Amino acid sequence: MPKGKIKNTPKPPVVVDAPPAAGRIEALVHKSQDFAEQAAKAELAGIEKHLEALQPERKRLETALDAFNKYAPTAKKQLQSLEGFRWHGGTPPANLRELLERQRANVFGGAYAPPADVQITALIKRINNAFQEIRHYAKETGQRLDYCARLIVSEICGRVSGIVPISGRDIPDIMRRIDETFQRFAEADLEARRQASPGSMTTVILPTSANDITIETNLNHGC
């Protein structure tokens, strides 16, 4: 080798891995989906007993919705018909007014809650999506899934117990009480207004020594 000349040593070739075949990618995707499905099944098994407790509540809600659809149209018609009565003083008596306000809230909704059927439908939807709601709450709070399930299921059951009696029991019962209370107070109201009317005439027969004389007057007696 001549002096001062550097020998170039050949470098080993760089081996570049070939991209994985399409079948390999598909297999990895399916594997990840299998793991996700297994994890979901494990989560579901852990809270299944809580979700099963919601099934009787769904039946109660469905029965209550049927009862609402049965009674609410008659209740609405009753409320609308009573609006035409003109009370002396402008407003109905306090106990009748309270019944009317409760029934309006039941069938039309009020300031603090929608009508009963809307609440029932919303609870049925919550039960249908309970698993997703529980998972979301667990992720949001960092609490155990079982704890979140017990918490949410307990809340739903409490709301069901609060709304179910309204449709099947309260609405028809309040209808009956409104009818009885309205008739009693309406008759008394009309009678009092008739007695107070300045145009009402009272026939008075005054005995005389000769003949009985009939006098008509608009004065109210017994005052």
What tens digit of pLDDT does each residue of 138-186 get? Answer: 999 999 899 999 999 999 999 999 999 999 899 999 999 999 999 999 9
pTM of the complete model: 0.68
Alpha carbon distance 138, 146 (integer Å)? 9
More confident residue, 148 or 12: 148
Overall size of the chain counted in residues: 223
Q: In this model, does residue 54 exceed pLDDT 80?
A: yes
Percent of the chain with pLDDT over 90: 56
Q: In this model, does residue 43 exceed pLDDT 80?
A: no
For position 222, what pLDDT does the model report? Answer: 45
Asked if 189 contacts 90 with a C-beta cutoff of 8 angstroms, the reply is: no
End-to-end Cα, the chain, rounded Å: 148
Mean of pLDDT over the chain: 83
For position 33, what pLDDT does the model report? Answer: 83
Q: Which long-range contacts (CB under 8 A, 24 or more apart) does 72-77 make?
A: 72/106, 72/107, 72/115, 72/116, 72/117, 72/167, 72/171, 74/175, 75/103, 75/106, 75/107, 75/171, 75/172, 75/174, 75/175, 76/107, 76/108
Asked if 160 contacts 57 with a C-beta cutoff of 8 angstroms, the reply is: yes
For position 192, what pLDDT does the model report? Answer: 85
For position 80, what pLDDT does the model report? Answer: 95
Secondary structure letter of residue 169 according to DSSP:
I
For position 193, what pLDDT does the model report? Answer: 85
More confident residue, 111 or 213: 111
